[in-house]
Amino acid sequence: MDTRRWLEVKSVLGEALDRPAGARAAYLSEACAGDAGLRAEVEALLAYEQEADLPPLFAGDASPHRLGPWRILRELGRGGMGVVYLAERDDQLYEKRVAIKLIDSAVQPEELLRRFEAERRILAQLEQPNIARLIDAGIGPDARPYFVLEYVDGLPLDEFVREAAWPLRRRVELFLKVCDALNYAHRQLIVHLDLKPGNILVTADGTPKLLDFGVARILDRESGGGLEGSPVRMLTQAYASPEQKSGGGLSVASDVYSLGVLLREVVQGEPQEDLACIAGKATAAEPAARYASVEQLAGDLGRFLRDEPVSAHEQGFAYRAAKFVRRHQMPVLGGVVALSGLLIGLSSAIYEARIANRRFDQVRHMANSFLFEFHDAIQNLPGSTQARALVVQRALEYLDSLVKESGGDVGLKRELAQSYLKIGDVQGLYFEANLGQQRESEASYQKALDLFQEIARQRPLMPSAQLDLADAHIRVATSLSAAQRHAEALRHLDQAIATASSVRFKIPPVRIALAKASFGRAENLEGLGRIDEALNERRKTLAILEELRQSSPKNAAARRWLALGHKRYGATLLNRAGAVEQALAEMRTAEKLDGETFRADPNNAVAKGDVALDAQYLAAALTRKGDVEAARAEWGRAIQMQGELVQADGRNVRARFFLIRGLQELGALDRQRRAWVQSKESLQRALTLAQAIRPGTEESMELVAGSEGQLGRTLAAEGACGAARVHLEGALAGYADLKDPRRLPAVGAQRKELAALLAGCRGQGR
């Protein structure tokens, strides 16, 4: 068997081995159509594989332990051209993990080197954000060439689209990034020839990366766009163009065809005529009938997003007029109303149905734009809390009305549930900027949970449904934890862990969900006084997040949660005698992580809040250590930053809460130093701020009572019992007015201490 035939057999066999045994016959009928010899050879190898329980194709390829300076960690996958490994560099000259592609040893040496040089030449030309980058190349000890490539931690395009369940617009925008990458390659005179979902990985943040140029070819400038050399017939049947299957002439049109097939999968389930026309033109049987370039295909997709006529659609008057109206609705509205009066007797039912459908789609699109574009764009900006609340509330109202109209639309229910999660976050998510509306936040999270449970029952096998459900359980648990309902919170967190663990693919969102649930368990175990269990759980949280950071170093969410995990681990350690230094080390690790994020984006209000909170944690630990001056410096830094956040965003109750707590702690520290003036200044400022937070609410009453109590303590210690009595009585009255049973256990000890102080002041009569 010659090299070309062997590679053809190997390609089909590799695809067959990836399928269940019962599905292989149907695949071979398609892949080997018209080539009985090919099918016979593949079936013989499959039969041997079943008998030996070994993949004979690769039996001779033992995994290497290292290649040059690169240490092999594990195998990532195998294909017709070789094996791909995850690796890292031992000498620290390159810190990130990489993917190493080791060329197949079954190929003849001269062919091996020819292919290696061809692929190296191609990869060296490609420097584009959506193409996996070539880092290094070399020859292994067994004379097999290898490539070192950027490692992409993501899902194949089709799996990502299914799991992310993005609205149509976002899916098309994602696909346009793939088009940009391929168009760039074409401009470098490189044709990919093996476009399929597995060669386009999408990271957790939605960035696509084009991989595997192993069968790519370089366009010959002198042959009018044909390819250099004789292309090997290695292809994936479902995505290959007719000319690839028949062995005809190949060009950029072959990649355009594969893109058209991928486009159908990306927009699957959307009854959109324009997109059907675009995909149809891209996958025309004759290359000349397709788009002449990827740039032209992308141009039509851009026109679709802008509601402009697409070139693939018939350009009739009605079609162009409809597009014009969609782009200019308000100027045309008066004319439409007048025209509808003239035409009301002519097909009025059909006309109204079309208008209703169009309005439904437009309102849905607008709501999603509010939720996923505008809200997310302003989330980290200073002063955005009230604007975020308004944006999410409006989106929620729109979606709520649409759900009532639509009945059982699962996608719409999911959008509504996500809206409830976002409004709950703005109302009261503890570690985010929020409005301090804890009860309202809990109610919003519960509505989201109810909807996600309904969706999970309807779509039990959909990974995104399970992830959404786990996230909702975590959010509900967060609210319950803030209300001191720790046992209830733990039940929700255990359910979140079970739900997230059921997702087969351990992608970054799954691991983050598991880390968040573990983090919540530690918080609630500590709240129940089970400190040893809490410490064990915190170590488990950090292990999950550290592993995620190693595999996905650019994952901002993982980095932030890792810092938070170190902070809270340090705080829990303070409950252990003799663990102050270890606690400080954990808190400094958190400060380093958050500081790097903040320095990279000083206008990020969330990052600034995290750094301010780091300073407060350090101050508390330094106070426990007895290093008063260092503690005062950290309290001062925290108060300065939290004050700036409050000034920039007056509705950010989280920043105001931490500012008040910081002032209370600094005032208490100065009281220990007998620095009465500084102590009173800090505590009076805390009291003034507390009185301005949603007056009359339980949250405000507790903060006011706490500040009055601290100020009363300082005045009593100073000997000013007359003034102290006023504030001590005010604190006790404030605590007595609290009706929420969830808050009462926390204030019981405070009331007892303040009552004793007040009795002492009354006894002195001053």
> Residue 471, exposed/middle/buried by CB under 10 A (0-12, 13-18, 19+)?
buried
Q: What is the DSSP letter of 593?
A: H
Q: How far is CA 499 from the centre of its chain?
A: 18
Q: Which amino acid is at 127?
A: E
Kindly state the helix (H) or strand (E) to which residue 266 belongs, with its residue range: helix 252-266
Map residue 422 onto helix, strand or coil: helix
Dist. CA 76–CA 149, nearest whole Å: 13
Dist. CA 733–CA 370, nearest whole Å: 44
Dist. CA 613–CA 606, nearest whole Å: 11
Dist. CA 164–CA 761, nearest whole Å: 63
Q: Which amino acid is at 687?
A: L
| Cross-strand partners of 148 | 100, 136
Tokens representing 496? 């979140």
Tokens representing 647? 């000034």
Kindly state the helix (H) or strand (E) to which residue 78 belongs, with its residue range: strand 70-79
| Cross-strand partners of 82 | 79, 103
Which of 719, 700, 716 minimizes the C-alpha distance to 668?
716
Please give the full DSSP string across 598-629, using - where no structure is assigned: HHH-TT-HHHHHHHHHHHHHHHHHHHHHT-HH
Q: Which amino acid is at 735?
A: Y
Which of 202, 207, 210, 132 minimizes the C-alpha distance to 163?
202
Dist. CA 360–CA 363, nearest whole Å: 5
Tokens representing 666? 């600094």
Dist. CA 434–CA 423, nearest whole Å: 10
Please give the full DSSP string across 701-744, using - where no structure is assigned: HHHHHHHHHHHHHHHHHHT-HHHHHHHHHHHHHHHHT---TTTH
Which of 488, 485, 448, 486 minimizes the C-alpha distance to 470?
448
Please give the full DSSP string across 310-357, using - where no structure is assigned: PTTS---HHHHHHHHHHHSHHHHHHHHHHHHHHHTTSSHHHHHHHHHH
Q: Is 506 annotated as a binding residue?
A: no
Which of 224, 227, 120, 130 minimizes the C-alpha distance to 182?
130
Instruction: For the sheet with 145-150, list strands across it.
Output: 66-67, 70-79, 82-89, 98-103, 145-150, 134-139
Q: Which amino acid is at 613?
A: L
Dist. CA 731–CA 711, nearest whole Å: 10
Q: What is the DSSP letter of 380?
A: T
| Cross-strand partners of 137 | 147
* Sign of the dihedral through C-alpha 348, 354, 360, 366: negative
Residue for token pair 């000349």: 288
Binding-site residues: 101
Binding-site residues for ATP: 101
